[in-house]
Amino acid sequence: MAVGIGVLGAGTVGGTLIRRLTQEGAAVAAKSGLAFEIRRVAVRTPAKARSFTLPPGVVTDRPWDVVEDPAVELVVEVMGGRDPAFDLVRGALERGKPVVTANKELIAARGPELLEAAARTGVPLLFEAAVGGAIPIIRPLTETLAGERVERVTGIVNGTTNFILTRMADEGTDYGTALAEAQELGYAEADPTADVSGADAASKASILASLAFATWVDPDRVFREGITGISPIDLGFAAELGYAVRLLAIAQRTDGGVSARVHPAMIPLDHPLAAIRGATNAVLIQGPAIGELLFAGPGAGGEPTATAVLGDVIDAARELRSGSQVVPRISFRPGSVVDAAEVPTRWYLRLEVADKPGVLARIAGTFADAGVSIRSVWQEGRGDDATLLMVTHEALEKQQRAAAATLAHLDVVEEVAAAIRVEGETE
């Protein structure tokens, strides 16, 4: 007997999933041993032309029809956003219906409540597609590596920003030009704010940190900085110095607790993530027993994300048909979340300065007063003005910020033109 599926949302991901289940159902059944039937689909505009065809009465503009329909045994939520998605997902779980979602914003913000609801009714809540699209990362963290003491997770988890930074570095184009190209190719939305501000990656960092360290990290506790301030000039200097620049989501174990942050970073060209180009995503997991594990692949778009959703649908359907109560795969324990300001970091800075005696001494003194030591200095240009490129040794993030803020007010410093963190190197 076919498993009855209800789908909340039929946009890029939802539409692709529905098309695959309806047009490729025989192939899915042959591989999974399960047959699926789309019984309800909720959309904003039922009359809109779509890439799939369903029988009359299946499509509705009332999402609760999907949740409450007794013919719907399993709910897929791909509508996005926190509301009304939260109430709908919780409602499905409370009715004993497994839920599969690709909604990273919802899981990051309300994950613990939804996981508790799933545990109470003994049904699965699966969200493999919420972080890396087609990249399997949720199961490895929660199952395969459940016995490993993960120390650090570093990811390129936003294909839009990775595409933009790659184009800027390769072609020397400015941010605006690279963004326009990303939009033309469908990698960026008309309003790219969530991507370029780091908000999208911060939701994913919240989920990765929470699962890797079994301590829930609220997305509001994830420090984030976007890519809008990155210049082709600094991408060029980074390459000359042996680095690539990527927007990284970093979750790590510290002495004080768990830390999560999202920001552009310079990484050595031989670092595993430096080779991740274009709209590709990747997640690097580090631990004492495993060393390093790299998961990479397409992280955005209808087809890759729908593939991960379909995998969860098959997994949830198998558990549903088994008739047994699901043992929660994910649990959390009390723990501390450390502010990013208390985490050791290294910085690259580009300073525009007056080219005269004593300038470097003044700058070095400013770093020393903040408790930051300078690892290396390069000077570009001569005459009345000069450009100084500096890389610091490791110090607390708050010390690095204090040094940069003081430098900006020195009379010999015309501008702190760039400040980018440096990751992936040991002292």
**Where are the chain's structural domains?**
3-133+302-322, 147-297, 343-422
**Model confidence at 303: pLDDT above 70:** yes
Catalytic residue positions, numbered: 204
User: Comparing 3-133+302-322 with 147-297, is the CATH topology the same?
Assistant: no
Percent of the chain exceeding pLDDT 90 equals 81
The helix, strand and coil proportions of the chain, stated in percent and rounded to the nearest 5, come to: 40, 25, 35
Percent of the chain exceeding pLDDT 70 equals 98
**Model confidence at 167: pLDDT above 70:** yes
Name the fold adopted by 343-422: Alpha-Beta Plaits (3.30.70)
Pairing of strands 257-268, 243-254: antiparallel
Task: Report d(CA 233, CA 289) in Å as an integer.
Answer: 40
Name the fold adopted by 3-133+302-322: Rossmann fold (3.40.50)
Answer for the pair 300, 216: CB distance below 8 angstroms, yes or no: no
Strand order in the sheet with 125-126: 59-60, 36-42, 3-8, 74-77, 99-101, 125-126
What is the overall mean pLDDT for the chain? Answer: 93
Contacts of residue 29, defined as CB under 8 A and 6 or more positions apart, other chains included, come to 35, 36
**Model confidence at 138: pLDDT above 80:** yes
Query: pLDDT-based confidence at 328, cuts 50/70/90?
Result: low
Query: pLDDT-based confidence at 52, cuts 50/70/90?
Result: confident
Dump pLDDT digits (tens) for 356-406.
888 999 999 999 999 999 999 998 876 678 899 999 999 999 999 999 999
Does 147-297 carry CATH code 3.30.360.10?
yes
In this prediction, residue 356 carries a pLDDT of 83
Q: How many CB atoms lie within 10 A of CB 348?
A: 23
**Model confidence at 176: pLDDT above 90:** yes
What average pLDDT score do residues 83-93 get?
Answer: 97
Closest Cα partner for 276 from 303, 302, 252, 248? 248
What average pLDDT score do residues 23-37 get?
Answer: 91
In this prediction, residue 82 carries a pLDDT of 93
